[in-house]
């Protein structure tokens, strides 16, 4: 943290516990232009960030393998609220949205 940016809704020294993960995931959704969930199970903490992304009107992408897993109920529920299946085509679209920064270069903070 001495040489890099650290963002948290918790003061330094706060004890980490199950109750802090949904708040952390909300922070990540707030800072992200889009959320991608590659692997998760029903009840996974990653779903908190997915719901926050939807609530904020940010794109949410789920790996196709999640939709293909009949034991999972959340992919279809997310899809009803606008989540998209991450396919080769949507992956290419996401890659195009990433800033083009040469390897090893430092990207300026945009504010």
Give the tens place of pLDDT for each residue, 79-101: 999 999 998 888 887 777 777 76
pLDDT at res. 109: 59
* Spatial separation of the C-alpha atoms in residues 23 and 45, rounded to whole Å: 10
Statement: residue 69 has pLDDT above 90: yes
| Whether the Cβ atoms of residue 54 and residue 81 lie closer than 8 Å to each other | yes
Read off the pLDDT band of 8 (50, 70, 90).
confident
CA distances from 25 to 7, 43, 44, 81, 98 (A): 12, 14, 11, 19, 21
Residues 6+ apart with CB under 8 A from 86: 36, 38, 61, 62, 63, 64, 94
Handedness of CA 58, 64, 69, 70 (dihedral sign): positive
Read off the pLDDT band of 3 (50, 70, 90).
confident
pLDDT at res. 71: 96
Assigned token pair, 24? 């952390």
Q: Is the pTM of this model over 0.85?
A: no
């Amino acid at each position: 943290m001495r040489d890099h940016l650290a963002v948290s809704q918790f003061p330094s020294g706060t004890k980490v516990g199950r109750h802090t993960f949904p708040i952390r995931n909300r922070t990540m959704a707030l800072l992200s232009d889009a959320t991608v969930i590659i692997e998760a199970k029903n009840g996974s903490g990653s779903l908190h960030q997915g719901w926050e992304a939807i609530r904020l009107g940010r794109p949410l992408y789920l790996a196709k393998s999640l939709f293909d897993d009949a034991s999972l109920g959340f992919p279809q529920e997310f899809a009803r609220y606008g989540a998209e299946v991450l396919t080769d085509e949507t992956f290419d679209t996401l890659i195009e949205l990433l800033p083009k920064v040469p390897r090893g270069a430092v990207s300026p903070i945009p504010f």
